[in-house]
Structure 1
């Protein structure tokens, strides 16, 4: 439920006594871009930690998407673990989503389930870019312009949210189990309307646990997101239902054109889409301007449902760099670095989105 109360300044303190979570930001666009990047499921698991928020969704028991939103994203972030602490089983489930280094920093976490669409609608009440509009953006083509423009994160955020000089600030509070997620938003100029939203929270039911085996990674690629955007945005989901990633050792091909090619006999990296109309291939050669990092010791090929990969397009639209990893079981990890424009905190950690997808079974 989200209701506009009246026109007045937000005027809330940075922290409220007794709150498990209290945070504030003077510009919600970056926070919104991270949430919209995983907006393909109605319910999300939110894990509150001392280092920030971890918000996860899943689809078809085959793909998960996690937005890692570090506390540096906000102007103020305070997490006070509830007393008594959550049950051991809940803490253990939440810790599975943390990296080993983060797991050792603190075992204190609070896990809850929220309706993601409702949260997005409330945060977007003044912009009109809520859950429905962000879902439509998953299939949009890249913004016209050269690659330098595409890699201008501030420009992409302005384009994504419609631009303009006005900014919306937000305060978010959570008092603990059984309480709603309370959000207050307002125009930071102090002359616009404000709104107060209460989002229902639920006990977590547990998300699909997909884990990439970093010790058994058979293909690792880091590239500018614009190159991956260009490849995936050309594919029509009505025509293609399977996406195959093919990797070959560096010795299999010499350096060549920096742009994707459709003629190479054995490229180091190939994206192949197939469906009812046939197939198409996009090849990448060994050029550091395209593939900044490439690691592949043996030829590998794994296929995935294109409908699952399409869920990553929203995050791809506003990301700066992308990482593609596949382990020996075919588990695919797509990580998107969401660079924060106008950073003011020295050494602030950037948010990112991590997609994990199971491969298609052989014979499909």
Structure 2
């Protein structure tokens, strides 16, 4: 193939059998107007950020598409004084910004994501024996990107109706992600995403400005708490495995008490220092912007690194047997002197409560 023929090929061309799964993932990070898109051989990476203290990442793996073609763009001419000649031989993945609300509106142009939004005649037509849903022709979605500066083309087909949209692309505004040190985690917790969603919803009733996360071992068992305070009061939600729960469960205990052993609230609980107490605070309004991901995800991995950066990674089932991940990162508040005093007081109160519980058990 000649260079001229290679230049005529689009950089990216993919076909998805369902626009719904793309919409489901991208809607989780729809808290910003502009999304930065990076096209790679492995898939599409969408990222949004707010004030450099919150970032949302959604990766559309190429396995979500029935057809995925990526042609690396041609190398840009390097300057004669370029010192990094070796790096210039590898083309950088195409990166650009697009309007995220426009993209979401395009993906649901036929109302595929919400059946109740369809008119009655459309819902009745879908239930017919020879409807496009049953015949497997539901909302074919084609994405393509020709070259640098070109629009992102989206073609959606449902039965005999075809809609073509061209979304304007912009120069990328940010290139660096919020740093998160995966190799130096202070805490890692895996739990049901619905429980985290319920907790955040309950805490929102006090109109709080801060959300404080506390993780530690309490009397030999994992303890995880979320607390918030606002003008309407304060509230906290605690996730503590039941006293009768053995953590982690062993084959012997499960064999002897298969019916009485309760399920663990915290499926995974890891502390870098089991004797330490991990406490960090974040802006509640930013945490709340991940509520859509909490509502649709099956599980969430709550991780905090040594610097206090929080990562909420949600596992979302897009279809039977296929899962995707949406990741949020949050920069913590800088701890002040007063925060340490309050933390010390709360620790003292918890120790007194623990001693009272132990004394009560001894009397019994």
Normalising by structure 1, we get a TM-score of: 0.71
Counterpart in 2 of 1:289? 264
Question: Which of these residues, 186, 189, 194, is aligned with residue 221 of structure 1?
Answer: 189
SS of equivalent to 2:235: strand
- Residue pairs, 1:152-301, within 5 angstroms: 166=133, 167-187=138-158, 190-191=159-160, 193-207=161-175, 209-236=177-204, 239-249=207-217, 252-254=218-220, 268-286=223-241, 289-296=264-271, 297=274, 298-301=276-279
Q: Deviations over 1:134-185 (max 9, x none)?
A: xxxxxxxxxxxxxxxxxxxxxxx98999997743220011001111001000
Q: Does 1:316 align with 2:294?
A: yes
Contact 2:74 2:91 in 1 (8 A): no
1:230, distance to aligned residue in structure 2 (A): 1.7
Indicate which of 328, 339, 357 corresponds to 1:355. Answer: 328
Give the whole-Å Cα distance in 1 for the aligned partners of 2:78 and 2:235: 50
Structure 1 or 2, whichever has the larger Rg, is 2
Contact preservation (8 Å) 2:20, 2:107: no
- The CA distance in 2 between the partners of 1:270 and 1:25, in whole Å, is 41
Query: Are 1:20 and 2:4 an aligned pair?
Result: no
TM-score, normalization: structure 2?
Answer: 0.71
Greater CA drift, 164-173 or 209-218 = 164-173
RMSD in angstroms over aligned alpha carbons?
Answer: 2.9
| Alpha-carbon displacement from aligned partner over 1:279-302 (angstroms, at most 9, x marks no partner) | 111111136532110012210110
Distance 1:196 1:35 in 2: 19
- Kept in 2: contact 1:48–1:54 (CA 8 A): yes
- Verify the 8 A CA contact 2:20 2:112 in the aligned structure 1: no
The number of residue pairs the alignment matches comes to 284
Alignment of structure 1 residues 84-163 onto 2, 5 Å: 84=75, 109-127=93-111
Q: Which runs of 5+ in 1 are unaligned?
A: 1-15, 89-105, 130-156, 256-266
**Counterparts in 2 of 1:80 and 1:125: CA distance versus 1, 3 Å:** same
**Cross-structure match for 2:32:** 41
Q: Which residue of the partner structure matches residue 49 of structure 2? A: 58
| 8 Å Cα contact 1:253/1:268 also seen in 2 | no
Q: Deviations over 1:42-98 (max 9, x none)?
A: 11110111000110000122100000111001111111111125989xxxxxxxxxx
Structure with larger RCO (C-alpha < 8 A, sep 6+) = 1
CA distance in 1, matches of 2:117, 2:280: 32
Structure having the larger proportion of residues in helix: 2
- CA–CA separation in structure 2 for the residues paired with 1:182 and 1:201: 10
Instruction: Give the whole-Å Cα distance in 1 for the aligned partners of 2:58 and 2:205.
Output: 24
2: CA distance, partners of 1:87 / 1:121: 39
